[in-house]
Amino acid sequence: MKIGRISLTALVVWLAALAAAVYTSNAQDASMDRMRVVSAARTLMPRPIGLKADPAPAETYRRIANDLTATNPKVDFLATPTGLIVRASDAGEYVAWMLAVTTAIAQASQYRWSIKELCAGTQCPSAPLSADLVAHQIQTEIK
């Protein structure tokens, strides 16, 4: 009778152990799958991209100044190593000057043009209408 009870207990323990083993094995497989997915996600993560602004080469300003001088006689174009100055010494040439500025930007629209200094008015220091423009090329870089 006692031996029978021990055998039954042993059988129950073994059955429980086997059930635990099967469950553990399944859980381990699922866990390994999740780890693999997370690991793949980590390798597929995009590397952070930064943006930087590289100054346009001086040649760009020279080319624009040369191209526009011929067609805009009332406006002066002065190419410097770091920018392009568009100037009109007669305040009455406001429309021509403004058109010249926008045309200069359109000549190299692949660059991002910004104003270093602009002055319009009779009290401006160099000329009544003057715009000092700078261009930058936006580049991407892996951080």
Partner 1 sequence: MSGLAFAVFAAFNLSQIVARDNRAAQDTAEITNASRGYERELRTELGHVAGQPALAVIGRLYSLSRIVPETGGALSEFRAEGDTVKWTAEVPDWVSNEQIDSYGPDIQRTRLPTTQKLRLTAVEKIQ
Which residue of 1, 3, 49, 70 would you call a contact of partner 1, by CB under 8 A?
A: 49
Map residues 4-43 to x or -, x wherever contact with partner 1 holds by CB under 8 A: ------x--xx-xx--xx-xx--xx--x--xx--x--xx-
Residue 112 and residue 102: Cα distance in Å, rounded?
13
Question: Residue 120 burial (CB < 10 Å; 0-12/13-18/19+)?
Answer: middle
- 112 and 135 Cβ atoms separated by less than 8 Å: yes
The residue among 81 and 138 lying less far from partner 1, judged by its C-beta, is: 138
DSSP character at residue 30: H
Strands 76-80 and 83-88: antiparallel
Please give the residue ranges that form the binding site for partner 1 (CB under 8 A).
10, 13-14, 16-17, 20-21, 23-24, 27-28, 31, 34-35, 38, 41-42, 45-46, 48-51, 53, 94, 98, 101-102, 105, 109, 112-124, 131, 133, 138
